[in-house]
Chain A
Amino acid sequence: MEMAVTALTWVLLMAGAFFLLTGALGMVRLPDVFTRMHAAGMTDTMGAGLILAGLLVHTLAGGGDLAAVPVRLLLILGFLWFTSPIATHATAKAALSGGVRPFTLAGEGSGAREPAPGEAFSAGQSGEREGGATS
Chain B
Amino acid sequence: MNRALWLWGILFALWLLLSGHFETLFIVFGLVTCTVAVWVSVRMGVVDRESMPVHLLGRAVAYVPWLVWEVFKSNVRVARIILSPRMRLDPSIVHFRASQATDLGRFIYANSITLTPGTVTTGVTGDDMEVHAIVQSEIDGSEENDMNRRVAVLEGKDPK
Contact = CB atoms under 8 A, between A and B. Distances in A.
Interface residues of A, number: 39
B72 interface: yes
A93 B123 contact: yes
B91 interface: yes
Nearest to A106: B92
Interface string A17-56: 0110011011001111011011101100110010000000
A103 B91 contact: yes
A73 to B, nearest CB: 12
B61 interface: no
A129 interface: no
Interface of B: 17-18, 20, 68, 71-72, 75, 78-79, 82-83, 87, 89-93, 110-112, 114-123, 132, 134
Contact of B93 (A38, A82, A102, A105): A102
B18 A42 contact: no
Decide if the interface of chain A is mainly helix, strand, loop or mixed: helix
Nearest to B115: A85
B61 to A, nearest CB: 14
A25 B90 contact: no
Interface in A54-94: 65, 67-68, 71-72, 81-82, 84-86, 88-89, 92-93
Given A35-B134, A41-B115, A92 B122 contact: yes
Nearest to B83: A22
Contact of B111 (A37, A85, A96): A85
A18 B110 CA distance: 27
Contacts of B89: 30-31, 35, 103, 105
Given A22-B82, A35-B89, A41-B114, 8 more contacts: A26-B78, A34-B122, A45-B117, A86-B114, A89-B110, A96-B122, A102-B93, A103-B89
